[in-house]
Amino acid sequence: MSNAIMKNAGGKIFMNLVMLAIFAVMVGMATQYPPKARFMPFVIGIPGIIMCLIQLVMEIRAARSGVQNEDEGKSEIAKAEEEVARITGRKMDFHEAEGAAAVVVEESREGRGRRELIMWGCFLALIAGILLFGFWISVPLFILAFLRFYAERTWPFSLLLTAIATTIFYCAFVLGLKVVLHEGFIIEAIKEHYDLY
C-alpha cells in the first residue's frame, strides 16, 4: 500500500476519532443534566457517535485491505489512459488523455458531493426518526439501512453489526448510565392514547 493511501486513510481515521471524541464528550456531559436538558445533546450526540463508529470501522477496513483506491498515486491522466486502453484496446495521445482526465476529475468531484449530500440526508433522517419514533426503533433501523445500502455490506454482516451496536448502546446507556432515552413523540402519543405507561 503506498504512502499516499496510508496518509489519506490516516487523515480520515484521525478526523473520525476527533469527531467521535467531540460527540462522546457532549453525550457524557449531558448525562449529568436534568432529563429535559439532556434531550437535545442526546438527539444530536448519539447519532453522531453512531455515524462516526460506522465510518471509522469502514475506514479501518478499507485501509487494511487496500481497497481504498490503490491507484490514488497515479495521475488522473494515467488513470484515463488505462481506462480507454482497456475499453478500446488503443492508447490515447496526450490531448485525448488530458480531456479524459478533466472528465474523470469532474465526475469524482460530483460523486464526492453526492456522497456528502447522502450522508447529511442520512444524519437528518436519523434525527427526525429519533424525534418521532425514539432511539430503540430508529437507531437499529438506521444502522441496518446504512450498512446494507450505503456501505453495501451483506445482509448477515449488516444484521450482526446492527445487533452488536444496539446491544452496546443498551448496555452503555440503560444498564451502565441508567439513562432513559427519548421514546419518540409518536410512540409516546400511542402509549398515552392506549394507557400503556
Which of 9-13, 81-85, 149-153, 190-194 is most confident? 190-194
Q: What 3-state class would DSSP assign to 179?
A: coil
Whole-number Å distance between alpha carbons of 58 and 95? 37
Task: With a cut of 50, say whether residue 1 has pLDDT above it.
Answer: no
Query: What are the pLDDT digits (tens) for 39-79?
Result: 788 888 888 888 788 788 777 777 776 644 444 445 555 66
Asked whether the predicted pLDDT for residue 176 surpasses 70, the reply is: yes
Q: Which of 130, 104, 126 is nearest to 52 (CA)?
A: 126
Cα–Cα distance for residue pair 78/81, rounded to 1 Å: 5
Q: What's the pLDDT at 156?
A: 93
- CB 8, CB 72: distance < 8 Å: yes
Is 144 a residue whose pLDDT tops 50?
A: yes
How would you classify residue 89: left for phi > 0, otherwise alpha for psi between -120 and 50, otherwise beta?
A: left
Q: What per-residue confidence (pLDDT) applies to 123?
A: 79
Per-residue pLDDT, 145: 87
| 197/61 Cα distance (integer angstroms) | 44
Q: What is the pLDDT of residues 28-48, one digit of tens each?
A: 888 888 877 787 888 888 888
Q: Does pTM top 0.85 for this prediction?
A: no
Residues 83, 101: contact at Cβ < 8 Å? no
For 157, other C-beta atoms within 10 Å of its C-beta total 12
| Mean pLDDT estimate for the chain | 75
pLDDT at 152 over 60: yes
- Quick one: pLDDT at residue 141? 92
Q: Confirm if 185 and 135 have CB atoms less than 8 A apart.
A: no
Report the C-alpha gap between 64 and 101 in whole angstroms: 28
Our count of domains for the chain comes to 1
Q: Per-residue pLDDT averaged across 3-13, rounded?
A: 61
Q: Which among 109, 104, 7 has a CA at the least distance from the CA of 59?
A: 7
Question: What residue numbers bound the domain in which 62 lies?
Answer: 3-193
